[in-house]
Amino acid sequence: MTILIADDAAFMRMRLRKLLEEAGHDVIEAANGREAVAKYQEHRPHAVLMDITMPELDGVAATREICQSDPTARVIMVSALGQQAMIVAAIQAGAKDFVVKPYEPERILQAIDKWARVG
């Protein structure tokens, strides 16, 4: 599957990329929300792992744009515990799931598999 990782921290992207590639997925990266929306339109990935706090366009706004253009988009928020209100907003904007940081790698892979099965 093709997965889009949207996170402004290069380290996080690297970690996620490693994890996903080892599980046999193809990875596209975006370093901010604006780029995430553009890359989504361009590649139509199977799923998006979306950070919340990002420059240019935050994860919630990016999710909203992506889900408006493609209601079937599988956006999974990856966020810290304190960001509850943001996650709620993202879910209402169309995000399908969330994983709380710090996450166990297994959780990410499970979430992706799960959504792959559903749709």
Partner 1 sequence: MRFDEIRWDSEEERALFLEEAFELLGTLEEGALKTPPPIEAMFRAAHTLKGSGGMLGLTEWVERAHRLEDAIDRRGRPDWQWTPELQQLVLETVDALRAELSGAPADDRTALVRFDLRWSASCPMPGVRALQAYNAVSAAIPGTMSDPPVDRLGDWHGEVSVLWVPSVADVEEQVQALLAVVDDLVEVKRVDRALEAPHLTESPTDESQRPDRRDATLRISADTLEAIMEGIGELLLDHGQLEHRLGHALDSATRSVFEHMRRRALDLQDLTLRARMLPLDTLFRQYPRAVHDIARKLNKKIELKTQGGDTELDRVVMDRLHEPLLHLLRNACDHGIESPEERIQLGKPETGTVRLTAYAAQGHVHIQLEDDGRGIDWQKLRDKAEREGWMSHDEAERAREEELQDLLFRPGVSTRDQVTDLSGRGVGLDVVRAFLDEIHGAISVESRWGQGTTFHIELPMTMAIVTALIVEAGPWTVGFPIATVERIESVSVAGVKSALGHDAVSDRNTPLPVFSLTELLDPDQPHEDHYVVRVKDGRTQAALTVGEVTGQQEIVIKPVEGLTGLTPWLSGVALLGDGRLALVVDVRRLVPVTRSEGEALREDDVILLGSNQMELLVFRLNGDQRYGINVYKTREVLPATTVTRVAGQHPWLDGVVYVRGQALPVINLYRALDLDPQADSAPLLMVAEFNQTVQAFGVYEVEQMVRVGWDAVETLPDLMEGHNRFVTGLINHPTLGTIQLLDFEALLAAVAPPAPEAEPQLPPLGPEVTVWLADDSAVARQQVEKALASLGVTMRTFRDGTELLAAVRGEGARPDVVVLDVEMPKLDGYSVARQLKESAETAAIPIILHTSLSGKWQASRAQEIDADAVITKFDPGLLAATVVRLVAARPLSAVS
Q: What does the binding site for partner 1 look like in residue numbers (CB under 8 A)?
A: 81, 84-85, 87-88, 91-92, 96-98, 100, 107, 111, 114-115, 117-118
For residues 39 and 30, give the distance between their C-alpha atoms in angstroms, rounded to a whole number: 7
Q: How far is the CB of 51 from partner 1 (least distance, A)?
A: 16
- For 1-119, strand residue ranges (E) read 2-6, 26-30, 47-51, 75-80, 97-101
Q: Which is nearer to partner 1, 38 or 109 (CB)?
A: 109
The least CB distance from residue 45 to partner 1, in Å, is: 18
Q: Does residue 95 contact residue 67 with C-beta atoms inside 8 Å?
A: yes
Nearer to partner 1, 11 or 118 (CB): 118
> 41 and 30 in contact (C-beta within 8 Å)?
no
Closest approach, Cβ 117 to partner 1, in A, equals: 7
Q: Which residue type is seen at 60?
A: V
39 versus 96: smaller Cβ distance to partner 1: 96
